[in-house]
């Protein structure tokens, strides 16, 4: 019994010792409250402190890249850089071509202007040459015409002078061509005078050739007809 009492007492003392001290509190009515003061337990939040939530580590849902995927991404990046460099090179070439075309067009326009100026100068000189040639051609033509022209008056005076030397010679018609070929017809008092006329025509320097085409005798005298070629040097116009 005594042992059981001792154990009871010790338990009671232990309870008393573990019992927190009573803290008196004053209420509104002035009564004293005998509620026990709660001890602070380390690590346990009080009513004034919010409860700290534990920090949980995130779970990575994206799987790690394999070596092949890394090589593929690196290759794609290299290809993208190569494409950009290719575009820059193409753009540079295009700009160079456009600049070359512009420069070529400018040079071509300059050459065209120079060519047009040269063509104008050449055309002007050609016009002068053509005009000079026309003048020269006219001068040559005038010289040729003058050289080949003859005086009908001188020819008629020549035939009359030959007839006057014989006497009693009458010329009926005289036909002269541009080449100084002539046909002459007329009459004399007798055949002897016709023969003299033929002789004088044949020996004179103004006549190159002479032919007696016809002759006849009648009661009134003799008629004749001559054909020949005159020498133009002695009948040219001065």
Q: According to the model, what pLDDT value does residue 183 have?
A: 92
With CA atoms as reference, report the closest residue to 169 among 188, 191, 194, 197: 188
Is-contact 148 230, C-beta < 8 A? no
Domain boundaries, the chain: 72-148, 152-234
Segments in the chain below pLDDT 70: 1-65, 69-71, 73-74, 76-77, 79, 147-148, 237-238
Based on its alpha-carbon atoms, the radius of gyration of the chain, rounded to whole angstroms, reads: 77
Query: Which superfamily does CATH assign the domain made up of 152-234 to?
Result: General secretion pathway protein M, EpsM (3.30.1360.100)
Token pair, residue 229, equals 């070629």
| Tens digit of each residue's pLDDT (9 = 90 or more) over 163-189 | 888 888 888 988 888 888 999 999 998
Q: According to the model, what pLDDT value does residue 39 have?
A: 52
Q: According to the model, what pLDDT value does residue 58 have?
A: 56
First to last CA, the chain: 198
Record the pTM. Answer: 0.41
Q: According to the model, what pLDDT value does residue 19 have?
A: 46
């Amino acid at each position: 019994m005594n042992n059981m009492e001792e154990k009871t007492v010790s338990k009671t003392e232990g309870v008393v010792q573990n019992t927190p001290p009573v803290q008196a509190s004053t209420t509104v009515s002035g009564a004293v409250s005998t509620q026990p003061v709660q001890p602070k337990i380390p690590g346990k939040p009080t009513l004034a402190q919010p409860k700290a939530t534990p920090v949980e580590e995130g779970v990575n849902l994206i799987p790690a890249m394999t070596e092949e995927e890394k090589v593929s991404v690196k290759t794609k990046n290299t290809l993208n850089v190569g494409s950009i460099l290719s575009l820059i090179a193409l753009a540079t070439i295009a700009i160079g071509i456009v600049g070359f075309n512009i420069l070529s067009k400018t040079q071509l326009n300059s050459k065209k202007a120079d060519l047009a100026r040269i063509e104008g100068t050449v055309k002007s000189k050609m016009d002068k040459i053509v005009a000079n040639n026309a003048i020269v051609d006219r001068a040559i033509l005038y010289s040729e015409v003058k050289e080949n022209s003859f005086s009908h008056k001188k020819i008629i005076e020549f035939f009359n002078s030959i007839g006057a030397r014989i006497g009693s010679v009458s010329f009926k018609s005289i036909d002269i061509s541009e080449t100084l070929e002539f046909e002459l017809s007329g009459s004399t008092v007798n055949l002897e005078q016709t023969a003299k006329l033929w002789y004088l025509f044949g020996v004179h320097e103004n006549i190159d050739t002479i032919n007696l085409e016809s002759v006849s005798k009648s009661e009134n005298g003799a008629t004749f007809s001559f054909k020949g070629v005159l020498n133009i040097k002695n009948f040219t116009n001065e």
